[in-house]
Amino acid sequence: MGREHWKKIWVGSAGNMVEWFDWFVYASFATYFAGAFFPEGDDTAKLMNTAGIFAVGFFMRPVGGWLLGRVGDRKGRKAALTLTVSLMSASAVLIAIAPTYGVAGYGGAAVLLIARLLQGLSVGGEYAASATYLTEASAPERRGFASSFQYVSMTAGQIVGLGLQIILQRTMSADALHSWGWRIPFIIGAFGAAVVFYLRRNMLETEVYEESGDDTPAGEKGTIKALWAHKREAFLVIALTMGGTVAYYTYTTYLTKYLSNSAGLPKQTATLVSFCALIVFACLQPLVGTLSDRIGRRPLLITFAIGSTFLTVPIMTMLKHAGSFWPALGLSLLALVVITGYTSINACVKAELFPTGVRALGVALPYAIANALFGGTAEYVALWFKDAGVESGFYWYVAGCAAVSLVVYLSMRETRDIDLNRVAETAPGVTPSPAASRVP
């Protein structure tokens, strides 16, 4: 992989990291600011309120996926990536300055809601633009490796957020963190987004986009009409995302709260478990991505789905009774190793399904819909089951979503050797178009 390829991957990944830092610190610091925007009451109820606003951000992701996916297909990947980081910077500033319930009543929660809507718009386009950019910027035989940096950077954003949380927990009192310390990561996120905006304004466009050879009419690029011509692939993206996104958000954004509220670990210990597990998880992504370049995407997706279907219930049950750092870390790592079969390659699998003229929108909109329905609601569903006194029901829910995706993985075609300049893979059971060709 040449120097130019690495430069494109670096710039795309650095921006993605800051985007997801801003997105995830909301979840990781929610236990500290939940009481700031809502009146006194049950702690679980306040967390459900903040989780509800977290979920609302996901429901804006399809809108962001549509708008920014259209920009990415019509104006270029660079234009979409620059716009996404601008929106994320604005949302971080809003959260950092949002007034508390004691100052403005529910006005503070309203500002928080607006900020999450902006974040939803931004991330809805960021995932697809970044996934498309990383996939297109790499050599054909290294797409799995290159696109794995999608989740390396996503996870790095969360690691930085958790690392900052650990530092603040050890340098500030609990009262200070609940009072004003939780604002610090959002200030840092806004500054980081400004730096990335500068980097992305000077990034290079992908050759695949500039030399596009697909037959999508210029006036239809990035449109719903063009996407509808590939509706089977769009529904495939929703189905293959379902199990992966629920599992991912369960063992990343929700894990710290689960270890703290359900397993009874101190907040500092729960945060440290997540931090250490995510470092290993990030390091695994390129290794498994490289493996997919050798053996294909489907074997890894199938392995993930089988593992998640049959191991989720016992892992979550044992995590609840882990009791200390090392057992909790070991179980968390086991879960994240299983999920790596999905996270390391899902970006390139989706990008490989669509032609260049509709690739960004084709990845963005159906993926955002799947996340709105399953990923964004995972934490809220988990807390709902807990509040209802049947927390184990959530374990079966996660396993069931993985089982649905398993059926899709077993029936879908392999996408590893697709030529991005000419072909979109077809949905399960559909004969490829006559124009289909593969890389020799």
Task: State the residue for tokens 């809003």.
Answer: 94
Provide mean pLDDT across the span 384-391.
93
Provide mean pLDDT across the span 277-288.
96
What pLDDT shows up at residue 44?
65
Region of 296 please: left (phi>0), alpha (psi -120 to 50) or beta.
Answer: left
Cross-strand partners of 418:
438
CB-based contacts of 94: which residues, under 8 Å, 6+ apart? 111, 112, 114, 115, 118
Provide mean pLDDT across the span 363-391.
90
Cross-strand partners of 438:
418
Is there a contact between 378 and 397 (Cβ–Cβ < 8 Å)?
no
State which amino acid sits at residue 10: W
What pLDDT shows up at residue 60?
86
- Buried b / exposed e over 11-25, threshold 16 CB at 10 Å, is bbbbbbbbbbbbbbb
Task: State the residue for tokens 């997540």.
Answer: 274
Does residue 42 carry a pLDDT above 90? no
Q: 266 vs 2, which has greater pLDDT?
A: 266
CA distance 230 to 331: 40
CA distance 370 to 298: 20
Return the minimum-mean-pLDDT range out of 163-172, 300-309, 343-352. Answer: 163-172
Q: 439 vs 342, which has greater pLDDT?
A: 342
What pLDDT shows up at residue 268?
85
Q: Which residue in 126, 402, 55 sits closest to 240, CA to CA?
A: 402
Helix, strand, or coil (residue 434): coil
pTM over 0.95: no
Helix, strand, or coil (residue 281): helix
CA distance 125 to 105: 32
Environment class of 52 (CB within 10 Å of its CB; exposed 0-12, middle 13-18, buried 19+): middle
Does residue 204 carry a pLDDT above 90? no
Q: Which residue in 395, 368, 414, 407 sits closest to 65, CA to CA?
A: 368
CA distance 158 to 278: 8
What proportion of the chain, given as a percentage, has pLDDT over 70?
A: 91
Is there a contact between 375 and 247 (Cβ–Cβ < 8 Å)?
no
Measure Cα distances from 201 to 67, 75, 82, 103 in Å.
19, 13, 6, 39
What pLDDT shows up at residue 253?
80
pLDDT band, residue 424 (cuts 50/70/90): very low
Does residue 104 carry a pLDDT above 70? yes
Does residue 330 carry a pLDDT above 80? yes
Provide mean pLDDT across the span 130-135.
90
Evaluated on CA atoms 103, 109, 111, 116, the torsion sign reads positive
Specify the DSSP class assigned to residue 205.
P
pLDDT band, residue 215 (cuts 50/70/90): low
